[in-house]
Structure 1
Amino acid sequence: MIDLCDDGAEEMFVGRPVERPFLSIVILTFRRLELLREAVASAVGQEFNRQFEVIVIDNDPDSRNDRLLISAAPHLRNAPLRYFRNRHNVGEADNWNRGIAEARGEWVTILHDDDLLDKSWAREMFALLDKRPDVDGLICRRFNLDQREAPVGESRLKSMARRIISWQQFGWRDIRRIDARKLFWECPGNTVGFVARKLDYEAAGGFRADESPNSDHAFYLRFAQRFQMYQYAKVLVSIRIADNSLLKRETHLACAYQDHQIRFACIAAGAPRWWTRLLPLLIARQVTAMSHFYRVAVTPEDVSRMLEVRIVRDRPLLLWTIRAACRGF
């Protein structure tokens, strides 16, 4: 069982009841009604021939968005929707855990109020899971929906590099195994697009506040150590990039710190010990990438002082060559 560090949530709304849902789609929200409407629409609109429910967990104890949501979209009264409001703001990790606790489906997936599921997400994910009963957890690839005023473009060279990396990851296969070696190099994504059995979420310990803001990456490592985790080559979810906490400098410094800790945990879980020598190169690449994509003022000096790791120049081609040689894709 997952240890919930809060005093529960109130059920504010129940739409069409589903007695025994096969799948629970959990949506976490906090003061973003317009985005929540889109996320809920993408969830209830799944083209899926099995019973499923949509659960909203509102982390604002003063929220009235349940009423506003139903008022703006009256058809949701007949949707398989349940809306909960936490009695206290419990933070991101414990909010994820609350969603798992309230889920009644055998399988559970979690998304945020600014993310979207393709209408075929559930159908395609479970078509694959039906063929591969050995897979315990499956995450699809994602599309970055950059809605900033000046979105980051992609040059021809970067587009080519992205396709090459995709080929190295999957080749002719539909899925690839995610284990400690893969998680040393990258996190395959946040919770959006990942689905697993509720019992397996619980067996892996759920999400931990002390691992924030990388609770998802740390959870995947624990999950991959106990269960068979795979990534699907298809892009079936959209991650919205806008003005939010991900763009804050302190958030990215915290991410860099937690990523560093998770990489040591990956080595303890089976990745080669000599890979610790690659950490300065990985840190340099991470700082450059997040500074470019998120436009945050984080420097290699900031991260090196925090982690007490020497500064090196960002050398993406060298890192890519080493990663390929280490079969890190």
Structure 2
Amino acid sequence: MNAINTLSPFDTISHVKSELVWESGRAGSSTRATIAIPTYKRFDTLLEAIASALAQTGVEPPDIVIVDNEGHGDKPAAVWERLEKVGDCRIRYFVNPQNLGMFGNWNRCIQLSETPWLTILNDDDLLRPQFLKRSLLLTDRLPKADGVICRKGTKDRRAFPPITTQPGFRQRLNGAIGKALGGMAFRKGVLKVDARRLFFGNFIGNGAGFLFRKETAIKLGGYDPKEWPAADFFFYVRMVLEGELFLLDEELADVGLGDNESLSPEVLSHFVEQLHHIRMKLAGNAVPARWSAMAPQLAANHILYAARAWGVRLDPGVIGEALGGLNLPPPNPRREYIWRLLHGTF
């Protein structure tokens, strides 16, 4: 799924050397996982993220790697002063002398991890105490897994959350039926994620609660900034095409919702466009070519879902124009529902 490029995403950041500002604790001999926290211009939520990493129970304490994209300043020392109950965890705080961009910083997190498994925890997201235990148990159960990801809740920190559309009776009924059908696809609480399901959208969400092999991430080229803002979804797609990814049917992480650009109309519009491009690449390769006929309807439906879930109204005409003058049909979730039933992708 990578565009033809002479440099990998890791190569493009090789000229910047992250500097270790401080380190605390020592890695345990049986430490298997790193919780890597990329941070930029956040302090209070970063402390919350670190606290959730330190609160992991039932496993060898993880390595914690913090990679600050702001450059030098007072923040590293301030974080050190506020840390409590570090315990046996090893924590390293790195600073990038220049901004690597969001996905560049994620790739640097991968490079700085020293354990077989790692998860990237954004500085406004949280892990629940059983995340590592439950995820690592699943990797023991599925030794060929390249990545496991859990379901997640949300922590809404927005000062004025937008008004979202309340689902009507039919929507609630369809949602309940869809959830029941989706639950039937799980085996012992686990679902193998495949390209067929990802064709219909990013049903596993962002990277919160995603534990993956470092060697696989390096092999896949990490996260490509050119795939913004859907680089994490592109990464999932590459993983299912070249390896194995599993969804754990447990809520073990929380996605922070803040007043930032991630929920802006521009970003959400571009995300809809990126998903359309992914579908067109999958059609004829990982899924039947005829599936491309469903892509305009799915893009139109995602515009509707943005309004329902986030209270953000997107312009289908603008998105269609960005997709080469594509004429998007009216939203029709029921049609998508039938397609998913027919293709067994709940």
The TM-score, its normalising length taken from structure 1, stands at: 0.93
Gaps of 5+ in 1: none
Partner of 1:16: 25
* Cα pair 1:180 1:267 within 8 Å, conserved: no
1:32-71 correspondence to structure 2 within 5 Å: 32-71=42-81
- 1:177-229 per-position Cα deviation (integer Å, ceiling 9, x unaligned): 11111111122122111111110111111110111111001111111111111
Partner of 2:179: 166
Which SS does the other structure have where 1:5 is aligned? Answer: helix
CA apart distance, 1:154: 5.6
Partner of 1:322: 339
* Cα pair 2:300 2:331 within 8 Å, conserved: yes
Q: Is 1:3 matched with 2:19?
A: no
1:297-316 correspondence to structure 2 within 5 Å: 297-307=313-323, 308-316=325-333
Q: Is 1:87 matched with 2:87?
A: no
Q: Is 1:96 matched with 2:111?
A: no
Give the counterpart letter for 2:119 in structure 1: T
2: distance between equivalents of 1:252 and 1:67?
35
1: distance between equivalents of 2:20 and 2:313?
41
- 1:1-37 per-position Cα deviation (integer Å, ceiling 9, x unaligned): 9624221211111010216531011111111100000
Q: Is 1:128 matched with 2:138?
A: yes
Which SS does the other structure have where 1:88 is aligned? Answer: coil
Q: Is 1:193 matched with 2:209?
A: yes
CA apart distance, 1:165: 2.6
Cα RMSD of the aligned pairs, angstroms, is 2.1
Q: 2:251 aligns with which of 232, 235, 245?
A: 235
* Cα pair 2:146 2:239 within 8 Å, conserved: no
Which SS does the other structure have where 1:27 is aligned? Answer: strand
Give the counterpart letter for 2:302 in structure 1: Q
* Cα pair 1:170 1:176 within 8 Å, conserved: no
CA apart distance, 1:246: 1.3
2: distance between equivalents of 1:78 and 1:237?
22
Task: Check 1:156–1:313 CA distance in 2 against 1; reply closer, same or farther (3 A cut).
Answer: closer
Partner of 2:192: 177
Give the counterpart letter for 1:179 in structure 2: D
Which SS does the other structure have where 2:121 is aligned? Answer: strand
Q: Which moved more, 1:93-102 or 1:142-151?
A: 142-151
Work out the percentage of aligned pairs sharing the same amino acid: 26
1: distance between equivalents of 2:276 and 2:161?
30
2: distance between equivalents of 1:323 and 1:266?
16
Q: Is 1:245 matched with 2:261?
A: yes
* Cα pair 2:165 2:308 within 8 Å, conserved: no
Partner of 1:109: 119
* Cα pair 1:31 1:63 within 8 Å, conserved: no
CA apart distance, 1:156: 7.2
Task: Check 1:291–1:155 CA distance in 2 against 1; reply closer, same or farther (3 A cut).
Answer: closer
Partner of 1:217: 233
Q: Which moved more, 1:159-168 or 1:50-59?
A: 159-168
The TM-score, its normalising length taken from structure 2, stands at: 0.89
1: distance between equivalents of 2:123 and 2:243?
28
* Cα pair 2:190 2:246 within 8 Å, conserved: yes
Give the counterpart letter for 2:155 in structure 1: L
Give the counterpart letter for 1:17 in structure 2: R
2: distance between equivalents of 1:253 and 1:155?
22
* Cα pair 1:223 1:229 within 8 Å, conserved: yes
Q: Is 1:142 matched with 2:155?
A: no
Task: Check 1:286–1:28 CA distance in 2 against 1; reply closer, same or farther (3 A cut).
Answer: same
Partner of 1:294: 310
CA apart distance, 1:292: 3.2
CA apart distance, 1:78: 6.2
CA apart distance, 1:139: 0.7
